[in-house]
Every structure is written in C-alpha cells, then in structure tokens.
Amino acid sequence: MAASVPAEATRRRYKKLLARFAAQPVPVWVRGFRGPFEEPGCDVAQIFEASVAKGDSKASLFEWASQYMDGDGLSNIVVPVMRFDGDGRADIHYGLLLGDPSDAAKLARENPTKDPGHFPFKVQGIVLEAEEQSWREQRAHLSSAFLPGQQLKPLLPTLQRGVSELLDRWAGLQGPLEAHDELHHAALDFFLQAMIGAKGLLPPTPRESLAIREAFNLDGVNLEDLPRTEATRLEFALRVLRCGATPPGPLLERLLSIDDDEKRVSSVKDFLTAGHDTTAHTLEWVLLELARHPEVQEACRMEAESIFGELGGRSLCYEDLLRFEVTSAVIFETLRLWGPAWTVFRRELTADRSFGGRVGGVTVPQGTAVNFWFYGHHHSAKLWGPDACEFRPLSRDFSDAELQRGTSRTPSSERFHPFSLPGRDCMGKNFSLMEMRLLLPQMLCRFRVQLAEPWRQQLEGLKCGSGDLFHGLIQKPGPAKPPKGLCFELEPLHLASQLPSARELTAMERSRL
C-alpha cells in the first residue's frame, strides 16, 4: 500500500506512533539482517519518518534495497511497515523484504496468507482476503473463469471487435493520443465486455469514464483516497452485478454465485481494479519503449505483417496469438523492466520461518509482515547481465518458458515472475496477455507510434534505476508508470488493409471461434 505524505492534521498521530515505535526494544531477529536499522543506536523513528516523506513506499524500498541488499539486490533486509490491528489502530512494525529469489519462491508457495494489517478495516475480496481457507475457496471458485481454452478462447471475437472499434476511433483522432486515459478506458471496457459480458456499462469516451476509472485505479489505493472514491466503487460494483448480461461473462457467472454479499461485492471491486489497471500501465510503457526504439517497433511490425499476410484476411484465432514471438518478447521485457509489481500486498507469517540473513539462517517469528522485492529479481545484473536496466527485447536471454515458447503456461521462474509468484499469483494473467497480443500487432500495422512533443525531449534521458526522471516517477503513488499526460503521434500506415474491420468482424467466424 502506498504511504502518502501525511497532511498537517495527521502529523500528531504520526508523532505518537513514532514515539511508541522508538520506545520498543529492537527484536533479536531484526539484528540478524541488514537494513536501515543495522547501525547501533540509530534513530528508528527518524528512519520511518524519512521514508514517509519520500511520497511513496516504493521510493524508500528502492533506496534501502540499493544500500543494504548484498549480492546485487538479491538478499533479505528488515524495513519498517505500517500495520493496523483489528480495531483499525495503526502501529509501526519491523517487516522483512525478501530479495533472495529462493526464499521468495518458497514463501510464496508455502505461506499464501496475506497481511490483515494493510487497511484499517477488514477486507474480504479475493485479492486481499487474509483468512487462508476462505481465500482458497474463493480462488478455486473464481479462477476457472480465466482458463485459457475453456473460457478465454471463446472471448476472442468480443475482444477483437473491441480492438477494431478502438483502432478505428484512434484513426479519427484530431491530435495526439493521450495514452493514460485512452488505454485505461479501453482496458476497463474490454474487461467489462469480455469477462462480465456487458457492453455499455462504461461510458463511451475516456472523458466520460474518468470518475469511474479513477475509483478503480491503483493510484487510489491509499488511505487518503479510499473514502473519497468508495461511493463510486460501490455504486459501479452493484451496477455490474445487476447488469443482467445474457449470457453472463465467465467471471460474472461465478461472482453471482457467491453466497456472501460482502465477499461478492468486494471481489467485484477487486477485479474491476486488477482486471484493467496493470494491463493499461504495461501498455503505456510498451508504447513508450517502442517509440524510443523504432528498430524494435519495426521488428514487431514486420512480424505482424507476415502473420496477417499468411492469414489471408481471416481474423485471428486464439492459437494464432502465441505466433507473435517478437511482440511477446516486447511485452515480457516491458514487464521485466517496468512491471507494475515491484512488491505485492504483504504476507503474514503463519509460523516461525528461517530466512537467509547476515550469516546463515535467521528465524523470523510468526505474525511478521513479509514482502517480496520483485524489482531486485527483475533488474539484477547477476541474473540478467550487465544490461539488466536497459530495454533489450530482441537480444534478452529469456528462456523458452519465460517467453511461452512451446507452452501456454504463464511465465514464472526464480528470476522472472511478471504476474507474481505461483501460489497466489494473478488470476487474470492469461486474459491480460491475450489483450496485449491482440491489440499491439494490429495497432502497429495501422500506425507508426512516435512520442509527441514535448515528451520526446523530456523523456530522452529516462533510464530505469537511475537519474532524476526515474526517481521522480517512483515517488508518485501507485505502480511505477509513465508521466500523466504522456502523448503519442499515430502516423497512419497502409498495412491496415490486411486487417478485418469492426463491421466485418460482426459477421465473421464468430461460431467457429
């Protein structure tokens, strides 16, 4: 959860928390790890206060990981975390940040329990459900909505029509493409049409959908914004449940069968955020990197032109999507470099566990909050080579499994887990990949993508992991994302003639697909 800079009215509350934190003895296990508390006699209150002042927790975690993690960011450190008890009272605790890939993978498999102290209220939706048995029951019930063959494959015509309509609208834009609003609007609309089965739930334009999108945007996952947007979230979630889609989409069908009203509504709100926001952020980064690397953009375009030429005018089927290997490499390299999940929602240890410390294993007590430092895994020169912080999709040494070559299994290895680690990873991962593999090749056949001014000059020096531009981006709440207002010029191309229009798709191959 993002830790926003406290307003003046809340500083007194922080002062009391800091005083109480500083007065407590440092647990013995904390001394077994490196981190900002490692210096004897350090001012623990000042350490936490300075981290809050940075604007977002990931900025502090990046600084601490860079300073204290040994082995190229692949060790474990102790960091401060804010947690809430069952009555909503806040306190500061010592938590563990896992940079060691093997420790992270083992914990992900064996300890799926989320930290119930994320928010000052109980959360029952699938994403943050802390009670393990309840989560397992929800996961088993809802995850079947995202099975590639049985559920996602029949949705491709719906997504294809949405993509064609979107690209037709972009072709008529009078000016540059405003990436954030356009992509977030499109991703949420695609999700509603395909997984819920209802067209028209979202207002037709990005301007009209702004209030809804802001309510379900990860930028708003902080305590200051939640009360302001809760009424919009609740109202729209109820609209989704009552939309009367016939037949209902695979996810809506399962949501409607949840008996508990609170869990049903909470899960809808979770999916409306997770089902579009991270995909849209990833697409923003993809377009930015393609605009900055025209040779990569051209490689994607040549691949798409060749595949569409072989199709001879027929629309894509689900099996065709894995043929876009260059596009897939671009997507996965973007997820590695700029992926939205530097960390995830914390876990709480359900038993004492041993983790690699300064020297050997250190036993960390039950109840400790633990998180994963995925940024370190994805940017380690030890794991990826000296160009780990550069965009190199055409030469990156991804394994076949990491690129989904010869398999439909979602990529996950100790060094690369763009959808989190197995055990409690993203249920919508295959839907997200289907969207991106469908949109990008067709977009690049219709348009050449270039940064609009003044962004071309302003972002010229952007480099992942260093520089003022990078540090400015990570201080903002939510996932690391391109600057708001980023715009692209779309130059029309002749290759669009190979693609079926939205009107043609209405009559083409629906039953076969």
Q: How far is CA 83 from CA 4, 30, 37, 228, 354, in A?
A: 14, 17, 18, 21, 22
What residues are designated binding site for heme?
A: 426
- H or E element at residue 98: strand 90-98
Q: Percent of the chain scored above 70 by pLDDT? A: 91
Kindly report, residue by residue over 249-267, the tens digit of the pLDDT. 999 999 999 999 998 999 9
pLDDT value at residue 496: 52
Kindly report, residue by residue over 346-364, the tens digit of the pLDDT. 999 999 999 999 989 999 9
Which of 6-10, 192-196, 226-230 has the weakest average pLDDT?
Answer: 6-10
User: Is this model's pTM higher than 0.75 or not?
Assistant: yes
User: CB–CB of 372/115 below 8 Å?
Assistant: no
For residues 279-303, average pLDDT: 97
Question: Where does 286-415 show beta strands of DSSP type E?
Answer: 347-348, 353-356, 361-364, 369-372
Residue 326: name the closest of 388, 394, 410 by CA. Answer: 394
Which of 94-103, 337-346, 369-378 has the weakest average pLDDT?
Answer: 337-346
- Per-residue tokens: 129: 């459900």
Q: Is the pLDDT of residue 431 over 50?
A: yes
Kindly report, residue by residue over 28-65, the tens digit of the pLDDT. 999 999 999 888 777 877 787 777 666 568 888 999 99
- Per-residue tokens: 115: 């930290």
Kindly report, residue by residue over 124-179, the tens digit of the pLDDT. 788 888 889 989 999 999 999 999 989 999 999 999 999 999 999 999 999 999 99
| Sequence-separated (6 or more) residues with CB below 8 Å from residue 495 | 301, 304, 305, 308, 445, 446
What does pLDDT average to over the chain? Answer: 89
DSSP state of 260: -
Specify whether domain 145-341+403-414+418-511 bears CATH 3.40.1160.10. Answer: no
Euclidean distance between CA atoms 405 and 408, whole angstroms: 8
Kindly report, residue by residue over 466-506, the tens digit of the pLDDT. 888 898 888 777 778 888 899 999 999 975 555 555 455 54
pLDDT value at residue 495: 58
pLDDT value at residue 358: 92
For residues 271-293, average pLDDT: 95
What residues are designated binding site?
A: 426
Of residues 11 and 89, more confidently modeled: 89
pLDDT value at residue 265: 94
pLDDT value at residue 510: 43
Q: Is the pLDDT of residue 408 over 90?
A: no
For residues 452-473, average pLDDT: 89
In the chain, where are the structural domains located? Answer: 1-128+343-380, 145-341+403-414+418-511
**Quick one: angle between helices 277-292 and 179-191, nearest 10?**
140
For residues 106-118, average pLDDT: 94
Q: Is the pLDDT of residue 3 over 90?
A: no
**Is the dihedral angle over the CA atoms 183, 188, 189, 195 positive or is it negative?**
positive
For residues 20-25, average pLDDT: 86
pLDDT value at residue 498: 55
Euclidean distance between CA atoms 110 and 104, whole angstroms: 10
Q: Is the pLDDT of residue 417 over 60?
A: yes
